[in-house]
Structure 1
Amino acid sequence: MEPFVLATDRVRLSVPTASDVDRIAEVCADPTIARWTTVPSPYTRTDAEGFVERFVTDGWRAETAFTWAVREPGDVDGPVLAMVGMTREGAAGTELSGELGFWCAADARGRGLITEAARIVVDWALDPEGLELAVVRWRANVGNWASRRVAWKLGFRHEGTLRRFGQQRGVLQDSWVASLVPEDPREPNEPWPADGPAAQRSAASPG
């Protein structure tokens, strides 16, 4: 599948390219992103090159991982503000599942960009004219309330906590998991957890 642009009046989603490598390296050096995602730590420019040249390119070619850079709206690509991706799993002729993942640059948090971008990607992934997934899953290390709030806003149903589930740089982490199916409304379907913070600035999800 050839990469394509997804856009609204609030964001532009386009494939990251070699011109984005320096910005990606800068953003992913943020300790907050290292804490909550599976990016290498410390993160180098070589890591960013590998992400763009191999992970992104190979994922689109194999149609197993679809990655977009989140940018300001418009007809041209501005600086990377965040990254959002959707994986696809399942054999041909069977119902397929996907997993949503994202991170957001520190200087772009608090603007609702990740929620907007993730909504576009989730809608495309579940649409019969998109990936036609039967379910999209979200997971995050326990304690990543910023990521959980994005999933909550999009209508993901919290399924629970899996102990030592998420692999992060060789260590198994306790993980929150949630799911969204095509018929679910794209809005909160359950109260925000009483033990969660009242508001969070979106950072990252390890998916």
Structure 2
Amino acid sequence: MYAKSLGVNGAELRPLEPWRAEEFLAHIDRGREFIGRFVGLADVVTDLPSSRAFLQRYADATAADTARIHGIWLDGTLSGGVMLRTMNVEQGEAEVGCWLEPAAAGKGLVTRAAGILIDWAVDERGIHRVEWVVASGNAASIAVARRLGMTKEGVLRESYKHRGERLDVEIWSVLAPEWRKARENG
């Protein structure tokens, strides 16, 4: 097992694996309404079997090299996470996603954690294009995309049905050469 410091006292990025299903469920329960404002995860992970199944899907996808999921721990408590929601190594494309409970918001944890995943995807797996897909009303997540140096490519109008409402979705991306250049200049 490994943990990577996120540069904030007591904050670490670690793999989020099926054996952590109880801890994951407790985390989702603490932040369910906050997380669920824009992210379907809060409606998918509702009990221990669904928590275990969600994490197992990502474990299977990790084994297949098509996705990854990592938790963000703050002072020893699972408080959020980042994922490569999809990853197509052959095409060189991946999508990064995230979520946080309220106690972890506003500390820069997602920006740091997503940056670590993008570094890995670009440097280790040869990913050329990394996308960030976000509901247009999710200002905090849009701010992360900007801090990561991503470019807004467009808006898919009313393309995401969430809790009975159709939401506009913005597509942001960064290309590997842009990511490397920003890191060099950073």
- 1:62 is displaced (CA, Å) by 0.7
Relative to structure 1, the CA distance from residue 171 to residue 4 in structure 2 (aligned partners, 3 Å threshold; closer, same or farther) is farther
CA deviations on 1:170-207 (whole Å, 9 max, x unpaired) are 865320111101122548xxxxxxxxxxxxxxxxxxxx
Map of 1:132 onto structure 2 = 126
> In 1, are the aligned partners of 2:153 and 2:172 still within 8 Å (CA)?
yes
* Cα distance in 2 between the residues matched to 1:40 and 1:106: 13
> In 2, are the aligned partners of 1:166 and 1:174 still within 8 Å (CA)?
yes
Unaligned runs of 5+ in 1: 188-207
CA deviations on 1:88-118 (whole Å, 9 max, x unpaired) are 126x4xx310000011122111211111111
Relative to structure 1, the CA distance from residue 120 to residue 22 in structure 2 (aligned partners, 3 Å threshold; closer, same or farther) is same
Map of 1:199 onto structure 2 = none
> In 1, are the aligned partners of 2:35 and 2:42 still within 8 Å (CA)?
no
Q: Which has the higher contact order (CA 8 A, sep 6+)?
A: 1
Map of 2:88 onto structure 1 = 89
Alignment of 1:123-202 (within 5 A): 123-127=119-123, 130-166=124-160, 168=162, 173-184=167-178, 185-186=181-182
Secondary structure, aligned partner of 2:43: coil
Bigger helix share: 2
* Cα distance in 1 between the residues matched to 2:99 and 2:93: 21
Relative to structure 1, the CA distance from residue 70 to residue 47 in structure 2 (aligned partners, 3 Å threshold; closer, same or farther) is same
Q: Residue 51 of structure 2: which of 48, 52, 74 is its match?
A: 48
> In 2, are the aligned partners of 1:40 and 1:47 still within 8 Å (CA)?
no
Q: State percent identity of aligned pairs.
A: 25
Kindly tell me the number of residue pairs found equivalent between the two proteins.
Answer: 175
- 1:167 is displaced (CA, Å) by 5.1
> In 1, are the aligned partners of 2:13 and 2:73 still within 8 Å (CA)?
yes
Q: TM (normalized to structure 1)?
A: 0.74
- RMSD between aligned residues: 2.5
Q: TM (normalized to structure 2)?
A: 0.81
Unaligned runs of 5+ in 2: none
- 1:6 is displaced (CA, Å) by 4.2
Q: Does 1:110 align with 2:106?
A: yes
* Cα distance in 2 between the residues matched to 1:166 and 1:180: 22
Bigger strand share: 2
CA deviations on 1:119-162 (whole Å, 9 max, x unpaired) are 111111111xx111110001111200111101110101011211
Map of 2:70 onto structure 1 = 68
